[in-house]
């Protein structure tokens, strides 16, 4: 078994087709098939089953992918670090983001990153914090930005930002509420919240539990964009981070109300594997995203201030 065979195996596993994998590797199909056959012979294991929809990995193939993908990422990053000149950052990054960060800061961050580091390829995945934790631990992601979990992590975790969560209501159809509300007063408001699988829901339920409150949402939806649109067009309300509702507040379709007693804060952290530190390129992208999150959060907080609201209403 050599690195080239492992590289061929990973490409076939991910593409599911000899044709696509060979094109990705810039080799002819027979060469790929021959190397996979040699690998199966050496391991005495069948790694793929050929079917009507392409090549499907066997249990042995899935196990091999899980074992060797982190190793190949380590080798790739090591090569990039050795050949990289200070003035030219190149290579590839695989990063994970929770949806609220992806929706609120990713596009602007990638535009800035591309202008500074045009030689770097970027792959972005979004998902639940728990899913991104698993992907970082398994080597599928170089680094991820998540909501800080309550359980202790075995990964390297560094704080990025503490962000206030606000009550959002429709500017046209929402209930008449003051600029600041208490969490206990929301029991009379119809809420649409993320499900209990979502990291943001954990922040809400933890705060409610401390005050012996029970949040009973009318609807539970994990897609934050859908929550925002639903609240815009109904008299329902939601509790989300400022960055998730800032565009709608800026457009005048939502109102943001500060929550007091208790003040709700979510903690955003970046995670990486302690044995696979992020590359220079990954650190640069994380820095840009972190700066964009903080800028957006400050802008949202400023736009929600009493003076700002007064000006918008005049």
> Any residues with CB less than 8 A from the CB of 147 and at least 6 apart, and which?
98, 129, 199, 200, 202, 203, 266, 267, 268, 269
Percent of the chain with pLDDT over 70: 91
User: Which residue, 268, 253, 262, 265, is CA-closest to 301?
Assistant: 265
Q: Could you report the per-residue pLDDT of 216-262, keeping only the tens digit for each? A: 899 999 999 999 999 999 999 999 998 889 889 989 999 999 998 78
Q: Which segments of the chain does DSSP mark as H helices, in order?
A: 3-15, 18-25, 29-43, 59-83, 99-101, 107-116, 129-138, 199-210, 224-232, 242-251, 280-303, 306-313
Taking a C-beta distance cutoff of 8 angstroms, is the pair 248, 300 a contact? no
Instruction: Report residue 121's pLDDT band, with 50, 70 and 90 as the boundaries.
Output: very high
For 121, the 3-state DSSP assignment is strand
Q: Could you report the per-residue pLDDT of 147-196, keeping only the tens digit for each? A: 988 788 889 999 988 888 999 999 999 998 999 998 888 878 899 999 98
Cis previous bond, 262, omega within 30: yes
Q: Could you report the per-residue pLDDT of 37-79, keeping only the tens digit for each? A: 998 989 898 999 888 777 888 999 989 988 888 888 777 777 7
pTM: 0.67
The residues that bridge with 56 in the sheet, in sequence order, are 49
Taking a C-beta distance cutoff of 8 angstroms, is the pair 241, 160 a contact? no
What are the structural domains, with CATH classification, of the chain?
A: 3-71 (1.10.10.10), 82-160+268-300 (3.40.190.10), 161-267 (3.40.190.290)
**Residue 88 confidence (pLDDT):** 63
Taking a C-beta distance cutoff of 8 angstroms, is the pair 58, 47 a contact? yes
CA dist 80 and 29 (Å) reads: 28
The average pLDDT across 14-21 equals 87
Residue 238 exposed, middle or buried by CB count within 10 Å (0-12, 13-18, 19+): buried
User: Which residue, 5, 13, 64, 61, is CA-closest to 31?
Assistant: 5
Q: Could you report the per-residue pLDDT of 102-112, keeping only the tens digit for each? A: 887 899 999 99
């Amino acid at each position: 078994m050599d690195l080239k065979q492992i590289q061929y195996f990973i490409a076939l596993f991910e593409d599911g087709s000899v044709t696509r994998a060979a094109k990705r590797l810039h080799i002819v199909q027979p060469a790929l098939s021959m190397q996979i056959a040699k690998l199966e012979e050496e391991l005495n294991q069948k790694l793929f089953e050929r079917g009507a929809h392409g090549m499907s990995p066997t249990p042995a193939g899935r196990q091999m992918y899980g074992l060797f993908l982190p190793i190949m990422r380590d080798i790739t990053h090591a090569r990039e670090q050795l050949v990289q000149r200070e003035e030219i950052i190149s290579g590839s990054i695989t990063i994970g983001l929770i949806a609220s960060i992806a929706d609120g800061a990713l596009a602007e961050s990638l535009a800035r990153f591309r202008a500074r580091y045009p030689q770097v390829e970027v792959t972005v995945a979004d998902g639940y914090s728990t899913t991104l934790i698993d992907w970082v631990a398994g080597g599928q992601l170089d680094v991820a930005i998540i909501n800080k979990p309550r359980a202790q992590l075995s990964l390297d975790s560094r704080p990025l930002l503490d962000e206030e969560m606000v009550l959002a209501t429709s500017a046209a159809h929402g209930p008449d509420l003051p600029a600041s509300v208490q969490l206990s007063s929301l029991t009379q408001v119809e809420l649409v919240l993320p499900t209990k699988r979502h990291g943001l829901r954990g922040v809400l339920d933890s705060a409610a539990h401390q005050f012996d409150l029970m949040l009973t949402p009318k609807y539970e939806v994990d897609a934050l964009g859908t929550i925002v649109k639903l609240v815009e067009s109904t008299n329902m309300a939601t509790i989300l981070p400022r960055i998730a509702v800032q565009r709608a507040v800026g457009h005048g379709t939502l109102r943001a109300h500060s929550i007091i007693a208790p003040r709700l804060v979510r903690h955003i952290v970046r995670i990486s594997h302690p044995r696979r530190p992020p590359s220079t390129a990954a650190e640069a992208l994380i820095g840009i995203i972190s700066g964009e999150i903080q800028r957006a959060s400050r802008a949202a907080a400023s736009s929600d201030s009493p003076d700002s609201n007064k000006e918008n209403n005049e």
